[in-house]
Amino acid sequence: MQLENSTSYTMSSNEIEEKTLELRKIKGEELHGMDIEELQKLEKVLEVGLSRVLETKGERFLDEITVLQRKGAQLMAENQ
């Protein structure tokens, strides 16, 4: 049982280390050891992520505009 826990802990520790390194690369902090191909893959991942962020932001802006237009129309109707 203790051997299983130790192995599980080691695997979890390794996974955390790998994910931490991956996050640091995404943040641009650990790029020195990467070759051109790895940098291109990272660039593609970042482009896709940025595209999703921009799309979501645009949707939220449109939703907010719609809400404000409704509120404006409601206030105009109440003032008449």
Q: Is pLDDT of 7 > 90?
A: no
Provide CB contacts within 8 A for 25, sequence distance 6+. 31, 34, 42
Mean residue pLDDT of the chain comes to 90
Residues 75 and 39 in one domain: yes
DSSP for residue 64: H
Q: Look at the chain and report how many structural domains it folds into.
A: 2
pLDDT at 35 over 60: yes
Q: What is the pTM of this model?
A: 0.67
| Cβ atoms of 58 and 52 closer than 8 Å | no
Phi and psi of 43, rounded to 5°? Answer: -60, -45
Query: Are 64 and 80 contained in the same domain?
Result: yes
One domain for residues 10 and 39:
no
3, pLDDT greater than 60: no
Both 52 and 19 in one domain: the answer is no
State residue 11's pLDDT score: 74
Cβ atoms within 10 Å, residue 46:
13
